[in-house]
Structure 1
């Protein structure tokens, strides 16, 4: 006959490890705001952690439970707590694509650029991985590093291209992300070519992507496209057609302005049609 052992039930601060999720974790995860509020009023710690260092705030952010996130933060939840993989609640909110949770965390001082570890990506990487372009815009507005480098994925632009999230690609490029950043010689254009996404290839080239870049296998982006496919035809055309002076000028201006481009261009004393062209509108 099996003997059931009663589950140890404790509340503690971050740094201690508990084998199971607590009632606070459960309420935060399931969006039970009333239950969570009662637990907090009864003295339950909002910083209790499970064996994997998951806090109730992580749980709420992973599931986009905005009201619970607000209650936890107002009760003193540690906004930049890390789980066993090094992810912060902001990483989880970005992964879930919860714009309101992201906004709440940033308002309470969450770091848009937490130190990267070998096991975790930045909040901006997570937002790009999930194709959450609104979160990408919000993070960039709060100073998220466009060139944050992840060992497995490269830059956020690499991630957006590899996961075929065109809107994220557009936001990153317009904000000044380096179009020819490399990871093991792979460029974002290599990823777009592998996915055979013509529109993504076009916008990358418009922002100055090097169509002749070679990866660690000495392959150019076009080498990853199917012969005769629209993406192959697109890249072949770029390879054989010189860039116009107009396009070269736009690239020169954008390259000089870098991440200040959008704001600076809008303030130039030039016709609106030129401002639109320089802003890729």
Structure 2
């Protein structure tokens, strides 16, 4: 028989968690999972609360635990039979939420419980992709209408480390979303590190987007990316692949390039 006290605690109630959302039927179970209260989550489950109860947005306590990166709270509903690939009305699974939160522990746990690494994507769904997902065969070029490829998403969200992982795993640096490349994103959000990373991996500085703009057109004087204008101008004026040149020269690169009769800026770019 279900515990009346537990039933009262899990009944629909109003709750506002700031940027975590506002749902008129959010329950104490959702709240406990969001705040990382593992003991309370355990008590609720033992008292008969459904591990698959949903809000009007089809969000389960498992979604909440994962988006906040609380593995202890995620483990409890999973062990109690929670649906691992339940989707919200926007198409996000708990695995999507874990990756968005950067929670490797939650992601591993979900995979161990059979979560799909390549769920079919909807227009509003981002692919759950990071190091662990790549190791489990996630699609590097998974595409959605909101973000484009995972590399586009990493640039839009300003995650340089994620972009580096994707590129090293073989993601296409010049993949386009409506003619817009990741380099356009990086230039627009004024990320010097991201621009340099993409150029290092062979990003095409000549490509234009739907507004007929090259990445360089999104940099402006006085911005953090002003120094990147030198990189862009150098790419336009010297059509060489510095990685190929350094590979050709091998260990002699530092010595040979340093002796060339070219500007220090060019030497710095090649090296």
Q: Deviations over 1:151-181 (max 9, x none)?
A: 0211111121223222111111001000110
**Count of residues paired in the alignment:** 231
Gaps of 5+ in 2: 1-7, 13-22, 253-271
Going from structure 1 to structure 2, the CA distance change for 1:208 and 1:121 (only over 3 Å counts) comes to same
For residue 74 of structure 2, the aligned residue among 69, 75, 84 is: 69
CA contact (8 A) 1:198 1:234 kept: no
Q: Deviations over 1:88-115 (max 9, x none)?
A: 1111112222221111111111111111
1:157 is matched with: 151
Query: Structure 2: how far apart are the matches of 1:272 and 1:112?
Result: 41
CA contact (8 A) 2:85 2:116 kept: yes
More displaced stretch, 140-149 vs 171-180: 140-149
CA contact (8 A) 2:62 2:94 kept: yes
Query: Structure 2: how far apart are the matches of 1:41 and 1:197?
Result: 49
Task: Map 1:243-262 to 2 at 5 A.
Answer: 243-244=240-241, 247=244
Displacement of 1:81 in angstroms is 0.4
1:100 is matched with: 105
Query: Structure 2: how far apart are the matches of 1:114 and 1:150?
Result: 12
Displacement of 1:19 in angstroms is 5.5
2:118 is matched with: 113
Q: How well do the aligned residues superpose, as a CA RMSD in angstroms?
A: 2.9
Query: Structure 2: how far apart are the matches of 1:21 and 1:195?
Result: 35
For residue 231 of structure 1, the aligned residue among 210, 228, 232 is: 228
Going from structure 1 to structure 2, the CA distance change for 1:196 and 1:50 (only over 3 Å counts) comes to closer
Question: Comparing both chains, which one has the higher relative contact order based on Cα–Cα distances under 8 Å and sequence gaps of 6 or more?
Answer: 1
1:277 is matched with: none
Asked if 1:211 is matched to 2:205, the reply is yes
Displacement of 1:232 in angstroms is 1.0
1:144 is matched with: 138
CA contact (8 A) 1:113 1:144 kept: yes
Gaps of 5+ in 1: 1-5, 11-17, 125-135, 251-270, 274-281
Which TM-score applies when normalising by structure 1? 0.74
Query: Structure 2: how far apart are the matches of 1:9 and 1:238?
Result: 61
For residue 25 of structure 1, the aligned residue among 21, 25, 30 is: 30
